[in-house]
Amino acid sequence: MIRRLLLASATVASLALTAAPAHAIVGGSNAPAGAYPSIVEVKLAKSFLCTGTLVAPDWILTAGHCGSVTGSAVATPIAFPGPLIDVYIGGTTPGAGETVPVTRAIIPPDYLLTQGHDVTLLQLARPSAQAPTKVAGAADAGAWAPGTVGTIAGWGATSEGGDTPETLQHAQVPITGDDYCAGAYSAFDAETMVCAGYPEGGIDTCQGDSGGPLYGTTATGERRVVGATSFGEGCARPGKPGVYARVADTELRTWIASVAPAAVG
Ligand code: 4AZ
């Protein structure tokens, strides 16, 4: 399991020195302006890049390892102070999205205990003017059933170990079965993780896409968030699908609803 955040010994002070080069989606294409009003570029301590989704007017969903000061090296619910988190909402070029101050980052208490629960909620000081995309509800399970094609979007590297893009990237990937993902990753947990990708690889999330959306479509054609980019072995490798926090299923959706009721439904 690789969450290459390079925050191993991170203190906030050392972050600026140790942060990884910002690395998008592999195998994607430029997103048209305005196509994803809810996509968020998340910058931690001015240097370290994640992606997120505006899930309610004043709440952004991102990865647990993006909100935690120790990153993925030592999972902890100690969150980054809000003022060290910059967010750019709904843009398609770097730094161009709407900026709104972050009040605080909230990490699920279970993030400490297990390898799952890789989510963080960022509370905004005021509502964003962009249109949020809510987390899918219990009635929307078809939106992320195995074989269903979801949409990934993000600001991360466009090749494994490569550079970040000048334009927001997006692509489509099929959601895999849980057994398939368990075979690919020994740490797979079917309550808090869901995988997506082609068996032959080629299209995937990558470093810097962490926390960003895996979007699904409801039976009535509405976009909903079904996953938050979490980890994977490399990017777009055959047999190694991307792993996403399973935000629309009971365990994580219940926590999200308890913190930000407006984010689900
Ligand atoms: C990362 O390092 C990362 N291929 C995110 C997603 C994937 C791999 C790595 C999935 O943030």
- Mean pLDDT, rounded, of the chain: 89
Q: Which of 118, 140, 209, 249 is catalytic?
A: 118
Residue with CA nearest ligand 1 atom 2: 207
Find the domain containing 21 and state its range. 1-265
Q: How far is the CA of 242 from the centre of ligand 1 (A)?
A: 7
Q: How far is the CA of 184 from the centre of ligand 1 (A)?
A: 14
User: Domain of 112: which CATH number?
Assistant: 2.40.10.10
Give yes or no: 65 in active site. yes
* Whole-number pLDDT of residue 13: 32
- For the stretch 236-263, pLDDT in tens is 999 999 999 999 999 999 999 999 999 9
The pair of structure tokens assigned to 162 is 């490569």
Q: How many domains does the chain have?
A: 1
pLDDT over 50 at 6, yes or no? no
- For the stretch 56-113, pLDDT in tens is 999 999 999 898 877 666 667 778 888 899 999 999 999 999 999 999 999 998 887 6
The pair of structure tokens assigned to 191 is 């309550």
Q: Where are any strands of DSSP class E within the chain?
A: 29-30, 39-44, 48-56, 59-62, 85-89, 98-99, 102-106, 120-124, 149-154, 169-174, 193-196, 213-217, 223-231, 242-245
Residue whose tokens read 């195995």: 146
- For the stretch 191-218, pLDDT in tens is 999 999 999 999 999 999 999 999 999 9
Q: Average pLDDT in the 183-196 region?
A: 97
**Bridge partner list, 121:** 61, 106
As a whole number of angstroms, the distance between CA 69 and CA 67 comes to: 7
pLDDT: is 27 or 13 the higher one?
Answer: 27
* Whole-number pLDDT of residue 23: 33
